[in-house]
Chains A and B, each alone.
Chain A
Amino acid sequence: MSVELYVVQFLTGLANAASLFLVACGLSLIFGVTRIVNFAHGAFYMLGAYLAYSLTIRWQTPVGFWLALLVAAAIVAVLGAVIEILLLRRLYRAPELLQLLATFGLTLMAEDAVRLIWGPEDLVGPRAAGLSGAMTVLGRPMPVYDFVLILLGPAVLGLLWLLLHRSRWGLLIRAATEDRDMVGALGVNQTWLFTGVFALGVFLAAFGGGLQIPRDAVSHVMDLSIITEVFVVVVIGGLGSLTGAFLAAIIVAELNAFGILILPGISLVLTFLIMALVLVLRPFGLLGKPLAQSRTLSHRIHGAWQPLGGVGRSAALAILICAALLPLVLGEYGLGVASEVLIAVIFAASLQFLMSVAGLDSFGHAAGLGLGAYGAALSVQHFGLSMEAALLIGPLASALFAAIAGWFCVRLSSIYFAMLTLAFAQIVWSIAFQWVEVTGGDNGIVGVWPSAWASGATAYYWLTLGCTTAVVLLTRHLTFSPFGYALRALRDSPLRAAAIGISRQPVQHAAFVISAFLAGLAGVLFAFLKGSVFPDTLGIGTSVDGLIMVLLGGFGTVSGSVAGAIVYKMASIWLISNTDFPRLILGGLIVLLVLVFPLGIVGTLQQALAGRLLAGNASVRGRT
């Protein structure tokens, strides 16, 4: 390879960085002020691209092209402002996971909305009018448009810097990024500040989307692909830092450009490895700072949990007996669905343990499930082992990886912990996707069938039910064991827990490994149920499914994950097979749930029960 090639590749990387930077700095701005990790940012990027596509094919003049991009971004920004006013405004004081869930719901809705409006095919937009030619750099052609993009990045950074440092609005944004409640106490209406910042961030994302039209096809999967990259960028750069986002966008774009050239086999892994490395060395990113917690933010308050009493135990036993008798009424298909639901229960219970009991919000729980599934599939396909052996090897594979990744992760807290777990999960996903010789890449591994005794639908269902019962009992047992007390003490007050002699990292590390082991068991059962494994099992979608199940059931309740998993899994299976636009409905339901039942199913029930008890006590007191 020649030097010229490297130079051209470097310039292409810089051009790629432009869009990435625009989307990332929008996300960073929004996070800085509102403390919302806007998962929907990728959806706004996608909407910007689609709208710009529709406008640019109508206005094919040099002025028309840029006007189309700006108009498209402005329309999406208005949409963003409306969403902020109607939805997010109600969530600023909610736990950050609810915010994430709501914005993920929006992402789902956007994907189907785009398909509804523009159709399912990829769309190829026009070249930028007046800029469609190529220039020669060191004897190699290079699109003129790329040079425009290279200049655009720094220009936008400069403009934003001016806005933030030379206007009163910018001053208030910077102040609010540090301490939004103090800004409110000084007479600034935060409500409109938030709306404004959100709209600005969305504008930048949508504009970034439009910029991609002359370079790439517009598709309805571009939201998830950009959001992962953007998460990586803001984490490397430091959440809330624009210059950091700029630097990190260049680093990530160049890594991608040269990774494909030099190390094509591991190009995907490379970015996430760098991110993990940065987080370990500089936990707040290259230019980030420790986050000041919003002081009036309602912290999660966990009720005091109690082991099940006699009534609870009888009810649980009754439910278990009913579940065991299901094969009497369900056919083969029904039992398959029931097994899948049970596997979801294991997955959710393991995540619930990590989140509610240990207080560690993992965005990468898919790695636990996926490694279990791949571990099982590989031991069956490559080593010719039996299902029984795989049932042990799969979870152990997950636990081993969690032991390594967890060592890094438990060093960080809150949102950075979540981001690092996401990075590790994405590393695993990229390996499964790119290491074709072993994992089969996108084609996955097929022919993973259970042992003869468990191959019938009924037998396999009972096996799954047995595992599920064991996992739920185990997580409950751990919750009420001294280990569980230590975890809950660390979750509620790390400082006080340390003062009574509990060492945070080893205890949380142990919880991380246990949780991954259990998720791995779900993965093994899933692999044998489906007879195959695909990289999707390891994808962000799986992690988010887990989060939704936990939150839907009721965050901070021990039994919530069971209810959440059953309802969510059944609803999604039904929606996928019975509607044309399942994501639109599912996303809408998620948003509605976050707004109406923020406590989840079990949480809402508990509150209703507690309310009745309180009312009862009050009336008793009133009489005496």
Chain B
Amino acid sequence: MLQVSDLNSGYGPAQILFDVSLQVGAGEVVALLGRNGAGKSTTLKSIMGLTDRRKGKILFRGTDISQYPPFEIARLGLGYVPEDRRIFTDLTVAENLEVGRQKRRSTTTWSPERIYALFPNLADLRHKPGGQISGGEQQMLTIGRTLMGNPHLVLLDEPSEGIAPKIVEQMAEAIRLMTREGVAILLSEQNLPFARLISDRCYLLEKGEIRHAGTMADLETGSGHP
């Protein structure tokens, strides 16, 4: 599905990522772990084409997207859920979902109704402006907005950050439902229990380099390969 090799990236003169390589298979949930500033978000942004400069190869379903602009990457079926949610605050919940719709993509699995089924909280809020709903609801909305584009793979940046524990559980449930629909997920997390709950494999990032790769179980026992 996704194959990143020797990715170097950064903003302006500052290089953040050094030769990052990782893979995500079809239907897999892979976690990027690491502390603040390790380069997790930058990895996801670079895959999405949102950083200033990139070097290295990013193969997504057989296409090298390392030089593509974000909108073309999205059109290939790569969804991006940013850490700070970036809801359109003046648009209603329903309108936010509509912006995520991609008419050209034929595989129409997701519709507003299915999103509301996945996140029942959103259904009652559909005519409310995005700026007037809670943080947890915004987090659901931003995932729903990305799903509207029928992605094959979703890049989830810190989905559990800053939301209530009850909603975190709901989020984990939603992510499991998404994978059952065949959506692969690459998420960045600092919350290890949450990551363990949903991920198959993980990569450990430190100072912009991959320090560990393996299954979640390997991470606990200390095995796996650097």
Interface string of A139-168 (1 = CB under 8 A from B): 000000000000000000000000000001
Within the assembled complex, what's the spacing in Å between the Cα atoms of A171 and B97? 11
Complex partner residue of B91 from A171, A187, A296, CB under 8 angstroms: A171
Say how far A186's CB is from chain B's closest CB, in angstroms.
5
Complex partner residue of A172 from B12, B69, B89, B99, CB under 8 angstroms: B99
Q: Which residues of A contact B96 (CB under 8 A)?
A: 175
Within 8 A of A (CB), among B60-92: 69-71, 74-75, 80, 82, 86, 88-91
Residue A301 interfacial (CB < 8 Å)? yes
Q: Which residues of B contact A183 (CB under 8 A)?
A: 99
How big is chain B's contact interface, by range?
20 to 34
Residue A456 interfacial (CB < 8 Å)? no
Residue B26 interfacial (CB < 8 Å)? no
Residue B215 interfacial (CB < 8 Å)? no
Within the assembled complex, what's the spacing in Å between the Cα atoms of A168 and B94? 12
Residue B145 interfacial (CB < 8 Å)? yes
| Cβ–Cβ contact B99 & A175, under 8 A | yes
Residue A298 interfacial (CB < 8 Å)? yes
Q: Which residues of A contact B50 (CB under 8 A)?
A: 181, 185, 296
Q: A190-B71, A301-B13 are in contact. Are A185 and B99 (CB under 8 A)?
A: no
Counting from the closest, the 8 A-B pairs by CB-CB distance are: A187-B74, A184-B70, A182-B86, A187-B102, A175-B99, A184-B71, A185-B70, A185-B80
In chain A, what residue has the closest Cβ to B95?
A171
The number of residues on chain A lying at the interface, defined by a beta carbon within 8 Å of a beta carbon of chain B, is 20
Q: Which residues of B contact A168 (CB under 8 A)?
A: 98
Known pairs A175-B88, A186-B74, A186-B99; list 9 more (Cβ under 8 Å). Answer: A174-B88, A178-B89, A178-B90, A179-B88, A184-B71, A185-B48, A185-B71, A185-B82, A186-B145
In chain B, what residue has the closest Cβ to A165?
B95
Within the assembled complex, what's the spacing in Å between the Cα atoms of A182 and B146? 10
Residue B27 interfacial (CB < 8 Å)? no
Residue B208 interfacial (CB < 8 Å)? no
Residue A306 interfacial (CB < 8 Å)? no
Residue B100 interfacial (CB < 8 Å)? yes
Q: Which residues of B contact A175 (CB under 8 A)?
A: 88, 91, 95-96, 99
| Cβ–Cβ contact A188 & B71, under 8 A | yes
Tell me the interface secondary structure of chain A in the complex.
helix
| Cβ–Cβ contact B82 & A182, under 8 A | yes
Say how far A293's CB is from chain B's closest CB, in angstroms.
12
| Cβ–Cβ contact A186 & B88, under 8 A | no
Residues of A that sit less than 8 Å from B by CB: 168, 171-172, 174-175, 178-179, 181-190, 296, 298, 301
| Cβ–Cβ contact A298 & B86, under 8 A | no
Complex partner residue of B12 from A171, A178, A301, CB under 8 angstroms: A301
Can you sample 24 A-B contacts with CB below 8 Å?
A171-B91, A172-B99, A175-B91, A175-B95, A175-B96, A175-B99, A178-B88, A178-B91, A179-B88, A182-B86, A184-B69, A184-B70, A184-B71, A184-B74, A185-B48, A185-B50, A185-B70, A185-B71, A185-B80, A186-B99, A186-B100, A187-B75, A187-B149, A296-B52
| Cβ–Cβ contact A174 & B91, under 8 A | yes
Q: Which of A172, A175, A185, A188 has the most chain B CB within a 10 Å cutoff?
A: A185
| Cβ–Cβ contact B74 & A185, under 8 A | yes
| Cβ–Cβ contact A171 & B146, under 8 A | no
Say how far B139's CB is from chain A's closest CB, in angstroms.
15
Within the assembled complex, what's the spacing in Å between the Cα atoms of A189 and B75? 10
Q: Which of A168, A171, A183, A187 has the most chain B CB within a 10 Å cutoff?
A: A187
Complex partner residue of B98 from A171, A181, A190, CB under 8 angstroms: A171
Say how far A40's CB is from chain B's closest CB, in angstroms.
26
Q: Which residues of A contact B86 (CB under 8 A)?
A: 179, 182
Q: Which residues of A contact B98 (CB under 8 A)?
A: 168, 171
Within the assembled complex, what's the spacing in Å between the Cα atoms of A185 and B98? 14
Say how far B83's CB is from chain A's closest CB, in angstroms.
12
Q: Which residues of A contact B149 (CB under 8 A)?
A: 186-187
Within the assembled complex, what's the spacing in Å between the Cα atoms of A172 and B103? 13
Within the assembled complex, what's the spacing in Å between the Cα atoms of A178 and B95? 13
Q: Which residues of A contact B91 (CB under 8 A)?
A: 171, 174-175, 178
Say how far B116's CB is from chain A's closest CB, in angstroms.
19
Q: Which residues of B contact A296 (CB under 8 A)?
A: 50, 52
Within the assembled complex, what's the spacing in Å between the Cα atoms of A175 and B86? 11
Say how far B110's CB is from chain A's closest CB, in angstroms.
13
Say how far B117's CB is from chain A's closest CB, in angstroms.
21
Say how far A119's CB is from chain B's closest CB, in angstroms.
46
Q: Which residues of A contact B69 (CB under 8 A)?
A: 184
